[in-house]
Structure 1
Amino acid sequence: MECGLLFSGGKDSSLAALLLDGFYDVTLVTAHFGVTDDWEHAREAADALGFPFEEIEMDGEVADEAAEQMREDGYPRRGIQQVHEAALEAVAAEYEVVADGTRRDDRVPTVSRAVAQSLEDRHGIDYVAPLSGFGRGAVDRLVDAHLVVESGPSEEVPKGDYETELRERMRQRWGSDVVTNVFPNHEQTRVVGRA
């Protein structure tokens, strides 16, 4: 069965790909808005892992609505959740199995049981979250054993995730101060190969 796995090039979605590989024909899919070309980092990671890659350009209105939500909230959670759900919808239009790298203890994005069932029922697909039973510690140990990663501050380690483009969209519309106020500094990872 063909599985479209939402893929950022980071450790979680990369580990999810390795876990699904024995069961599905996995294609790593990066959803973006065409704001930056940082999604190319995800293509490089997919190549390094040996998986086919596809990119889907989503409607810019999704990014604008998410950016507005984050600016109003003063934090990224709900905006990133909106984008993730829109990306799942986009992948569900093309694949019979849709997967992502969400973990048990993720704050955002998450996929509730209701959202997963709605996605499956409306599109006639299977939604799979192979890391949903794994906490951060378990993921980190598996990543250390199976993947080679680069890490650093989110502004310095771009990958093909929503955050990079949403930051840029906000910067274009409201300036760098709004981006700094909304997004906390945190470590990003980008996969560069298998261990």
Structure 2
Amino acid sequence: MEVGLLFSGGKDSSLTALLLDEFFDVTLVSAHFEVTGAWKHARKTATALGYDFEEVLLDREIARTAVEQMVEDGFPRNGIQQVHRHTLETVAAMEFDAIADGTRRDDRVPSVSRAQAQSLEDRHGIDYLAPLTGIGRNAVDKMVEKTLEIESGPSEEIPKGDYEVDLRALMAELYDDETVSQVFPAHTQTRVVARR
């Protein structure tokens, strides 16, 4: 059975790939808006992990709407949620038997409710998998420490292949860098570089 896993090159989506690997043929899918080319970082990680990789171009109008929502809200949560739903819909329409993501139990965003998951499955005839939704951050970190080699640092210095990089760049283009720093809180980012 083939699963398309939403993939950023970070520890959560990489760990999810390892967990699914025993049961599925895993293809790592990096979704982007063709703003920065950041998806190439995800491809590099996919190669290091030994998985097939696909990049998917998302509707740029979704990005613009999400950026406007984030600026209006003053925080990224609702915009990121919009983009994640759009990404799941896009990948569900591809030729996979199942789709998956690396959302954890403790994630506030993105999240997929039970009703949303069932709707995806029913409308697209696929299975939706999120193996980390029952696992907290501390346990995820312990699992990652045993299986993956990572680098970490400020999000501006550790580029990953996720759509957040494109959203930040588009926000800077439509507004300015100050708006980006006001909307997106500074945080530590991780990127997987190899298996242990």
TM-score range, shorter chain: over 0.9
**Structure 2 residues without counterparts, runs of 5 or longer:** none
**1:124 aligned residue:** 125
Measure how far apart 1:149 and its partner are. 0.4
The number of residue pairs the alignment matches comes to: 195
Q: Normalized against structure 2, the TM-score is what? A: 0.99
Measure how far apart 1:162 and its partner are. 1.7
Q: For residues 29-70 of structure 1, give each alpha carbon's deviation from its aligned partner in whole angstroms, at most 9, with x where no partner exists.
A: 000000011110000000000000000001100100100000
Runs of 4+ in 1 over 4 A off after TM superposition: none
Distance in 1, matches of 2:133 and 2:184, equals 25
Distance in 2, matches of 1:170 and 1:51, equals 32
- Aligned pairs for 1:80-159 (under 5 A) are 80-94=80-94, 95-159=96-160
**Structure 1 residues without counterparts, runs of 5 or longer:** none
Q: Normalized against structure 1, the TM-score is what? A: 0.99
Distance in 2, matches of 1:163 and 1:33, equals 10
Give 1:82's aligned amino acid. Q
**2:2 aligned residue:** 2
**2:77 aligned residue:** 77
- Aligned pairs for 1:168-187 (under 5 A) are 168-187=169-188
Q: For residues 84-141 of structure 1, give each alpha carbon's deviation from its aligned partner in whole angstroms, at most 9, with x where no partner exists.
A: 1100011101112000000011011111101101111111110000111100000000
Measure how far apart 1:161 and its partner are. 1.1
**1:38 aligned residue:** 38
**2:51 aligned residue:** 51
Distance in 1, matches of 2:17 and 2:10, equals 11
Distance in 1, matches of 2:109 and 2:163, equals 12
State, as a whole percentage, how many aligned pairs show the same letter.
66
